[in-house]
């Protein structure tokens, strides 16, 4: 009897609320909703003001109605109230309306098991943002509701239907609702107040736009801070952090609809990890393509420390669980990061070449990791990327649309890895990941400027051997010394002559440079930037770099050092800009004062000398 009496009281309460809605329906609700559909903000403002005290009730009731119905957006009434009433009254009325709507939803769901069809369409999105761990305790449910209220594109009503379906008590539920919606209500009403000032000609349009932009930024900062420091606090400094998610959301924004991704995961054994995923490196966005291949599960990424040395970037990298690596330098911090990450149950993505392909073919892997991978005692996943190099080669600024293919070439279980020596494992990795993009042209490029900037890589004429005489115009690479021309077709292959591809042209240059290794001596005056161990710019200076078969030397008025070529694995470079290296935990960037295209030669000569020294060993 007691339960029946409670349901009867509840039903009477709901009917009274419905009656109140009906009471205002004729004069306020119907005209207001019509104005809302027509986006008639001035008419809505006049309507609310004309109703006097009834306008207060109208704001509250309309807000509540939109909560229950869900599909009607709440921003219109919030901005309208901000236009019509003093700011503090508008905020209070909207919040009361939200609480009234949330209470009605709570009653409908808990007592009458009401099921809203619009909510059902939104439920999948909400479920995707929650997990069992966060549903177990009331505190976690409250945090999830706060998180959802901060998420764009999820109506308040849908969130309340979800909250009512959990085990959360009414007091905690309504407290969460009342406080969780405040940032959005404040922003909408402030926009309304600013618009009112603009309409009354007391606020210039640029100031109005500035206020709206500032409010949007403040709302974003509030939401981001809450997610980072409260809801996802336990995920800080891991790949499950808010920063990590934002990184890939931003990459997705930049690359979506630009490249079509195709995945072949047949050999990617269903494993929860942790595993080490090793990939060839064709373009800057390879990390994004591979992450899309992996799916929902987040993995840490080993990145060039260059991208995490500046104070702000360093903090972002740390908070997102990235593992930094000094290129071509033994870095115990990286090894520690790999151990810590895999032991925490996270998988890791590594590009063992350490740098982007220069000519479409994979670089040799100079830093062998077979021994380390065996000690980590995890599975190895070998992944190959195709189609990314010519879409955005190292020497060109523009992206070309293309199809990107990501495939699992081999899966090596940790048990299988134990059967190989480190050298055998390194050889398997190197052979499996090798890729020459010109051997399998999976895209067609009709752009008219495919050779533009190509001289920054193919700096020497393969026909006459002259240095720095090549020029890329349109689709043709020509030599100003001998007049030789090589024209690229739609597959980035040369149409005629004895050189078929960019990779073959680069190999010809290698042959010419190998002949000079016995006597080679490169020298150039440079402008230098020196960054300390914390990534702060310590010094700018001018100096002189020298490289011969035995050592690399740098000398300026305040700095001088030498590095044996046995220890210098490579000189990473940016086409037509600079080459770089680490020395005593500091990072040096060298910008030639004349002919910036020579940086490609410095890098290639360093590679050839290291290769020759390695063969002798």
> Does the pLDDT value for residue 203 go beyond 70?
no
Q: 132 with 53, same domain?
A: yes
pTM: 0.69
Q: How far is CA 178 from CA 99, 172, 185, 443, 569, in A?
A: 6, 10, 10, 55, 61
Q: 267 with 332, same domain?
A: yes
Task: Give yes or no for a contact between 93 and 81, defined as CB atoms under 8 angstroms apart.
Answer: yes
Q: What is the mean pLDDT of residues 48-60?
A: 66
Q: 251 with 130, same domain?
A: no
Assigned domain for 232 exists? no
Tell me the pLDDT tens digit for each residue of 338-391.
Answer: 999 999 899 999 999 988 999 999 998 877 788 999 999 999 999 999 999 999
- The domain boundary, picked from 406, 439, 472, lies at 439
pLDDT at 469: 96
Assigned domain for 223 exists? no
DSSP assignment of 569-612 equals ----EETTTEEEEEETTEEEEEEESS-GGGHHHHHHHHHHHHHH
Assigned domain for 447 exists? no
CA distance 289 to 255: 9
Q: What DSSP state is assigned to residue 364?
A: P
Beta carbons within 10 angstroms of residue 52's beta carbon: 8
CA distance 578 to 599: 6
Q: 427 with 474, same domain?
A: no
Assigned domain for 236 exists? no
- The model's confidence at residue 133, banded by pLDDT at 50, 70 and 90, is very low
pLDDT at 533: 79
Q: What is the mean pLDDT of residues 237-254?
A: 80
31 phi, psi to nearest 5 deg: -60, -40
CA distance 267 to 410: 6
- The model's confidence at residue 266, banded by pLDDT at 50, 70 and 90, is confident
Q: 260 with 383, same domain?
A: yes
Tell me the pLDDT tens digit for each residue of 105-122.
Answer: 888 888 777 665 555 656
Q: 123 with 269, same domain?
A: no
Nearest Cα neighbor of 149 from 186, 115, 183 is 183
Q: 114 with 181, same domain?
A: yes
CA distance 225 to 229: 6
Residue 300 CB burial class (10 angstroms; 0-12, 13-18, ≥19): buried
Q: 427 with 346, same domain?
A: yes
Assigned domain for 206 exists? no
Q: Which domain holds residue 353?
A: 242-439
Residue 503 CB burial class (10 angstroms; 0-12, 13-18, ≥19): buried
Assigned domain for 425 exists? yes
- The domain boundary, picked from 383, 406, 439, lies at 439
Nearest Cα neighbor of 276 from 417, 86, 74, 84 is 417
What is the number of H-type helices and E-type strands within the chain? 22, 17
Nearest Cα neighbor of 247 from 186, 298, 179, 182 is 298
Tell me the pLDDT tens digit for each residue of 506-532.
Answer: 999 999 999 999 899 999 999 999 988
> Does the pLDDT value for residue 183 go beyond 50?
yes
- The domain boundary, picked from 512, 532, 556, lies at 512
Q: How far is CA 610 from CA 331, 366, 568, 569, 604, in A?
A: 19, 9, 7, 6, 10
Q: 108 with 75, same domain?
A: yes
DSSP assignment of 124-182 equals HHHHHT--HHHHSSHHHHHHHHHHHHHSTT--HHHHHHHHHTSS--HHHHHHHHHHHTH
> Does the pLDDT value for residue 132 go beyond 60?
no
pLDDT at 164: 84
Q: 553 with 504, same domain?
A: no
Name the more confident of 369 and 129. 369
Structure tokens at 591: 């910008």
CATH number of the structural domain spanning residue 592: 2.30.29.30
Assigned domain for 217 exists? no
Q: What share of the chain is helix, strand, coil (3-state, %, to 5)?
A: 50, 20, 30
Assigned domain for 226 exists? no
pLDDT at 135: 40
Q: 115 with 151, same domain?
A: yes
Q: Which residue has the tokens 């910036």?
A: 596
pLDDT at 456: 95
Could you give the number of structural domains in the chain? 4
Tell me the pLDDT tens digit for each residue of 145-178.
Answer: 777 776 655 777 788 888 888 878 888 888 888 8
Mean pLDDT, the chain, rounded, equals 81
Q: 288 with 361, same domain?
A: yes
Q: Which residue has the tokens 């050889």?
A: 427
């Amino acid at each position: 009897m007691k339960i029946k009496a409670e349901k009867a009281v509840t039903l009477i309460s709901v009917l009274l609320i419905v009656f109140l809605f009906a009471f205002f329906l004729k004069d306020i609700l119907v005209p207001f909703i019509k104005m809302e559909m027509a986006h008639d903000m001035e008419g809505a403002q006049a309507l609310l003001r004309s109703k006097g005290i009834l306008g207060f009730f109208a704001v509250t009731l309309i807000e509540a109605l939109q909560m229950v119905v869900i599909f009607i957006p709440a921003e219109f009434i919030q901005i309208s109230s901000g236009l019509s009433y003093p700011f503090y009254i508008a905020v209070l009325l909207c919040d009361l309306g939200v609480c009234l709507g949330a209470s009605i939803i709570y009653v409908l769901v808990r007592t009458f098991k009401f099921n809203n069809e619009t909510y059902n369409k939104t439920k999948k999105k909400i479920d995707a943002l929650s997990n069992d761990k966060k549903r177990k305790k009331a505190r976690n449910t409250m945090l999830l509701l706060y998180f959802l209220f901060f998420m764009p594109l999820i109506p308040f009503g849908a969130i309340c239907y979800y909250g009512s379906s959990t085990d959360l008590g009414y007091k905690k539920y309504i407290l969460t609702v009342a406080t969780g919606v405040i940032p959005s209500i404040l922003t909408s009403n402030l926009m309304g107040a600013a618009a009112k000032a603009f309409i009354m000609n007391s606020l210039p349009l640029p100031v109005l736009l500035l206020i709206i932009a500032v409010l949007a930024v403040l709302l974003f900062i509030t939401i981001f801070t809450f997610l980072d420091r409260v809801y996802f606090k336990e995920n800080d400094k891991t790949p499950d952090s808010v920063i990590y998610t934002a990184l890939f959301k931003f990459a997705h924004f930049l690359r979506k609809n630009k490249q079509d991704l195709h995945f072949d995961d047949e050999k990617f054994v269903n494993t929860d990890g942790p595993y080490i995923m090793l990939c060839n490196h064709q373009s800057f966005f390879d990390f994004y393509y591979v992450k899309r291949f992996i799916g929902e599960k987040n993995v840490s990424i080993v990145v060039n420390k260059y991208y995490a040395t500046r104070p702000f970037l360093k903090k972002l990298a740390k908070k997102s669980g990235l593992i930094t690596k000094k290129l071509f330098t033994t870095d115990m911090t990286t090894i520690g990061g790999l151990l810590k990450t895999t032991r925490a149950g996270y998988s890791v993505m590594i590009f063992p070449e350490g740098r982007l392909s220069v000519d479409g073919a994979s670089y040799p892997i100079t830093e062998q990791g077979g021994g380390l991978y065996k000690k980590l005692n995890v599975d190895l996943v070998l992944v190959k990327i195709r189609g990314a190099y010519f879409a955005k080669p190292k020497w060109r600024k523009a992206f070309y649309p293309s199809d990107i293919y990501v495939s699992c070439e081999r899966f090596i279980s940790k048990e299988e890895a134990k059967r190989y020596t480190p050298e055998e494992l390194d050889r398997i990795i190197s052979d499996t990941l090798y890729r020459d993009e010109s051997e399998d042209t999976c895209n067609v490029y009709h752009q008219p400027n495919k050779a533009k900037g190509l001289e920054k890589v193919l700096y020497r004429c393969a026909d006459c051997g002259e240095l720095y005489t090549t020029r890329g115009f349109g689709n043709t690479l020509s030599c100003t010394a001998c007049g030789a021309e090589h024209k690229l077709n739609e597959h980035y292959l040369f149409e005629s002559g004895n050189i078929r591809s960019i990779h073959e042209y680069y190999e010809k240059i290698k042959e010419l440079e190998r002949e000079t290794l016995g006597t080679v001596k490169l020298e150039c005056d440079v402008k230098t930037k020196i960054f300390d161990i914390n990534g702060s710019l310590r010094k700018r200076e001018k100096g002189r770099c020298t490289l011969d078969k035995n050592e690399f030397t740098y000398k300026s008025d305040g700095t001088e050092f030498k590095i044996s070529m046995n220890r210098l694995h490579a000189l990473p470079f940016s086409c037509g800009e600079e080459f770089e290296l680490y020395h005593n935990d500091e990072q040096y960037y060298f910008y030639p004062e004349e002919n910036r295209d020579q940086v490609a030669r410095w890098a290639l000569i360093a590679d050839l000398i290291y290769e020759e020294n390695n063969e002798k060993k």
